[in-house]
Chain A
């Protein structure tokens, strides 16, 4: 790990975190350490324990075991201190539908004990800054999904929190609204806010998170930067053969470059082959030379880096128990 992290206390830190709901072990020894001023992604299938973890960090749910510190305070013993420094935006917009946007923000500001005037000023400021002032005095139930989610995010920024928890902030949003939320998150991180983001959208984690923890069955099964995670399963070489080339010969030739003993996938109808290779071990010309020296005519060759989706499926797919649980809604 980086040296910087040693001198700085992590802003979110959990060790051996456990939580059980009835028969479901939602968290099963989760360990996490999030450095200040970064965006940290929690990635995992439905039911993996992401939301429960965030609810523990945000002092809503009491853990059964383990230790959790957020912004320097224990979430159980010093919950109040933690609550003064965090913001939370959930997967369901946590707003009063029967109040206007402005009223929602003012009430939340007053419950944060900002005082009536500061709460009002802060509400006006945020509505303007995030261009919702045109709808500020309309009831939230008339808002579109994107507007609600934006207001929800703004509501979590009322106190300018040091740590912001976003639980699937863009689930179900249209692309434009997603981009707006992403922009906001980037701006907040640039300002020094520590953001913890849970998501099922891997491109979202890829876009926003500096570090990612893949959570499955209540525990972290892999962690690292998006690039580090992609390196776990390496790259692939895809080859499309010319009509006269032999599939068998090509497969043999590709085995020479395959990652330790991997066998190429052969698509006989499409006349294509695909083989995993160790990450960044080959350049494209090297692959072409290999095929050329074996006398194989190809139409197309490409080295493809894995998407986070493939990483995700590889890491979480091995765990049949988790797969079973993720089927349960």
Chain B
């Protein structure tokens, strides 16, 4: 009788498993060139659409172009919406019988959501770079030099990663691709009730409070400061608007603290 093939495992094996899951999810993308092209076209469309449609009607202080105001918002919005798209991917993934096979294998179960979110992050980096390049082509600039700009990208990716874990939790809860797609629609108001397109100053007070405490607004404000783009809020500010960098890091950390254990628990829990 043949003995099962096996290897010694170490506590680090789980990271290897996560890496394998990440490679698996990215390999799937390799077979879908259409989706890759779509991922690359979306940023172009967003910059052109919002930059020129809104830009033609909205005037910005001291003559800056609307694109200068808009780009930090677009980068954050693209990141948050892109990260939430992990929701559908993970819901589809978890609905597959292959997850049952994974559960019967000697791999670390926590590595599955880690691998899934890592794959999402790789896609996010590509999306962020693409949109930045498109912005640069149409005249957007970061005025404060390389280090603050990299800091801004770091903040965006941190928030992106946190939101992708939120997507992982939601994705594991719905287990159904269509419901997941509907749930995605709810993300839009979450992103829009913020300072992505317009300053919060002119909003009715309840809405303004919502927008000011929205982590999206904090990230956008932080990026505007770090990129040296116009639109810094002034006057009597809510705490996240006055301290946008700590607010963004804090909100991301909070989301991760809640969602990582939840997503891992959801995956470890038996499927019924």
Q: Which residues of A approach B to under 8 Å, CB–CB?
A: 21, 37, 55, 58-62, 80, 83-86, 88, 90, 92-100, 103, 107-108, 110-115, 118, 122, 139, 155-156, 158-162, 191-193
How distant is B110 from chain A, measured CB to nearest CB, in Å? 13
Complex contact B31–A111 (CB within 8 A):
no
> Chain A residues near B104 (CB, 8 Å)?
58-60, 83, 86, 88
Secondary structure of the A contact surface, majority rule: loop
Q: Which of A99, A100, A159 contacts B4 (CB 8 A)?
A: A159
Nearest CB in chain A: distance from B226 CB, A: 38
Q: How far is the CA of A115 from the CA of B1 in the complex (A)?
A: 23
With a CB–CB cut-off of 8 A, which chain A residues contact B5?
A: 112, 114, 118, 122, 158-160
B6 an interface residue at 8 Å Cβ cutoff? yes
> Which chain A residue shows the least CB distance to B97?
A94
Contact A60 B270 (CB under 8 A): yes
Total cross-chain contacts (CB, 8 A):
107
Bound together, the chains give a CA A207 to CA B262 distance in angstroms of 46
Given the complex of chains A and B, what is the CA–CA distance between A156 and B24 in angstroms? 18
* A292 to B126 CA separation, bound complex (whole angstroms): 90
Taken residue by residue from 5 to 21, chain B's Cβ proximity to chain A (1 for < 8 Å, 0 otherwise) reads as: 11101000100110011
Contact of B100 with A by CB under 8 A: yes
B193 to chain A, nearest CB (A): 35
Minimum C-beta distance from B124 to chain A (A): 20
Chain B residue numbers with a CB within 8 Å of A193 are 1
**Is B106 in the interface zone, CB < 8 Å from A?**
yes
A113: contacting residue among B103, B106, B270, CB under 8 A: B106
Which of A97, A99, A112, A122 sits near B105, CB closer than 8 Å? Answer: A112
For B56, what are the chain A residues with a Cβ–Cβ distance below 8 Å? Answer: none
Q: Which residue of A lies closest to B28 (CB)?
A: A98
Least CB distance from A145 to B in Å reads 14
Given that A99-B27, A107-B24, A112-B105 are known contacts, is A60 also in contact with B100, CB under 8 Å in the complex? yes
Contacts of B31 in A (CB 8 A): 98-100, 139
Residue B182 interfacial (CB < 8 Å)? no
Quick check: A160 and B103 within 8 Å, CB to CB? no
A59-B103 in contact given A96-B28, A98-B28, A103-B27 (Cβ < 8 Å) = yes
Contact B98–A94 (Cβ < 8 Å): yes
Please give, as numbers and ranges, the residues of chain B lying within 8 Å of A37 by CB-CB distance.
1
* CB < 8 Å neighbour of A160 from B3, B96, B102, B272: B3
A193: nearest chain-B partner, CB-CB: B1
Residue in contact with A112 in the complex, picked from B2, B106, B270, CB distance below 8 Å: B106
| Contact residues in B for A122 (Cβ distance below 8 Å) | 5
- Is there contact, CB below 8 Å, between B7 and A114? yes
| Docked-complex contact A111 and B17, CB < 8 angstroms | yes
With A96-B96, A99-B27 known to touch, is A155 a contact of B101 (CB < 8 Å)?
A: yes
B57: CB under 8 A from chain A?
A: no
| A95 and B27 within 8 A (CB) | no
Query: Of A60, A88, A113, which one neighbours B13 at CB under 8 angstroms?
Result: A113
Q: How far is the CB of A3 from chain B (nearest CB, A)?
A: 21
CB-CB under 8 A from B272, the residues of chain A are 21, 61
Instruction: Point out the residues of chain B lying under 8 angstroms from A191, CB to CB.
Output: 1-2
Can you list 16 A-B pairs, Cβ within 8 angstroms, ordered by A? Answer: A55-B100, A60-B103, A61-B271, A62-B270, A83-B105, A84-B4, A99-B31, A103-B27, A107-B23, A111-B105, A112-B6, A113-B7, A113-B9, A113-B16, A114-B6, A162-B1
Is A93 a contact partner of B97 (Cβ separation < 8 A)? yes
Name the residue of chain B whose CB is nearest to the CB of A160: B2
Apart from A88-B100, A98-B28: 12 A-B pairs, beta carbons within 8 A:
A55-B100, A61-B270, A62-B270, A88-B104, A107-B23, A108-B105, A112-B6, A113-B6, A122-B5, A161-B4, A162-B4, A192-B1
Closest B residue to A37 by CB, please name it: B1
Q: Given contacts A61-B270, A98-B31, is CB(A90)–CB(B100) below 8 Å?
A: yes
Q: Which residues of A contact B7 (CB under 8 A)?
A: 113-115
Q: Indicate with 1 or 0, residue by residue over B96-124, a CB within 8 angstroms of chain A CB atoms.
A: 11111111111100000000000000000
